[in-house]
Amino acid sequence: MNHGPDDQGPEGLDSDELALRRILHDAVQEIEPRDGTLAHLRRAVPARRARKRQALVGAAAAVLFVGTAVPALVHVSNSGGANVNSSNAGHGEQAQGGAGHGKETQGGENTSGGSSGGGQGQGKGGDKGKDGGAGTGPDVGTGGSGDPLATSTAGVPACTAAQLGVAGQEAGVPDSAGAVYGTFRFSNISTADCTVAGPGSVSLSMAGAADSTKVGRLRHVAGDPATGLPDPSQELPALVLKPGGSYEVKFAWVPSATCPSTGESDGGGSGGPDPTPDPTPSEGAGGTTTGTSTGGDTGTAAQLMRQDPTADGSVTVSNTTEAAAPTAAVTVSNACAGTVYWTGVLPVA
């Protein structure tokens, strides 16, 4: 329904609009705000404005960071100097996609797919093959200044032969199974700390009746016949020795057979006289004298006389430290065939 200008109220509203306004006013005239609403608005409105400002500042900072980081990343990826050795540089040269970029980057692995760049991009040990100059790190595989033993334990260098001394070498008596257990002990005789990273080497020397083809050596593992040795879990991969500190390497001789006999009788053979001091004679036709039957006395005496002595054999067990010196040695007697088991580095309790 259209109304003319005469039907409009003093505020420029039509009569219908004025009626709707009165209805709305009547509907809400009894509604009142709760206590504290004004105070809440006074706090909430500034807080909302502050959050908006923080969001704007964060967005501006992100834009600024991206604007400064992207040019720097592009500069690094495009640089071909000898100091470029990072994962970012590697990805950057892959993004360039050229084999020439892969060849120009030194000290890093070529990530480009070109066949010409892959021929010279990576050499032995991860360094450059033909074009590489000085590497960015020590060569661990050459045993020089990058030797892992020299820097494996908090930068303490490996023990040298001049720093180590033999502190003890001993072997016990055979147990019920004939096994003999022994210990080698080495100590730091210098005034500086050093690192022991292994038990060194064990060598064997046979003498007498010991058969070198029947004597072996093995590292001690859980479940082997050397049950008297410490569990391998007690061994240390590396140990820092303070001045005067010591470590041990234990071994076990486990025989597989006894030493052979010499083949010589103690009493001069079985053809000797009857060992019975007062034999009871019996007269025969020829006047011969024979021993009386006493339940096998003559047979027992013959067996005792035929017992052959055991051949003398021995095995000398030597342990040389990782520094190639010094060497400790122990000789196990009455050893002709068997196996020597030895442990790793054990701390001295």
Q: How does pLDDT run across 39-60, given as a tens digit for each residue?
A: 888 888 998 899 899 999 989 8
CB 164, CB 187: distance < 8 Å: yes
Calpha distance 126→134 (Å, rounded) = 13
pLDDT for the residue 149? 38
Among 4-8, 153-157, 217-221, the range scoring the smallest mean pLDDT is 4-8
pLDDT digits (tens, 9 = 90+) for 156-178: 999 999 999 999 999 999 999 89
205: closest CA among 319, 323, 322? 319
Calpha distance 230→301 (Å, rounded) = 47
Decide if pLDDT at 310 tops 90: no
pTM of the model: 0.47
196: closest CA among 264, 267, 137, 246? 246
What's the DSSP call for residue 275?
A: -
Structure tokens, 187? 């100590």
Decide if pLDDT at 29 tops 90: no
37-78 and 87-96 helices cross at what angle (nearest 10)? 70
pLDDT for the residue 9? 57
pLDDT confidence of 328, banded at 50, 70, 90? Answer: very high
pLDDT for the residue 291? 43
Mean pLDDT (the chain, rounded): 73
pLDDT confidence of 262, banded at 50, 70, 90? Answer: confident
Q: Which residues contact 18 (CB under 8 A, 6 or more apart)?
A: 9
3-class SS of residue 73:
helix
pLDDT confidence of 69, banded at 50, 70, 90? Answer: confident
What's the CA dihedral at 99, 100, 103, 108 to 10 degrees?
-70
Give the H or E element holding residue 67: helix 37-78
Calpha distance 140→160 (Å, rounded) = 19
3-state helix, strand, coil in the chain (%, to 5): 30, 20, 45
Structure tokens, 240? 């820092």
pLDDT for the residue 5? 52
pLDDT confidence of 117, banded at 50, 70, 90? Answer: very low
196: closest CA among 154, 247, 144, 145? 247
What's the DSSP call for residue 232?
A: G
Give the type of residue at 144: G
251: closest CA among 168, 343, 349? 343
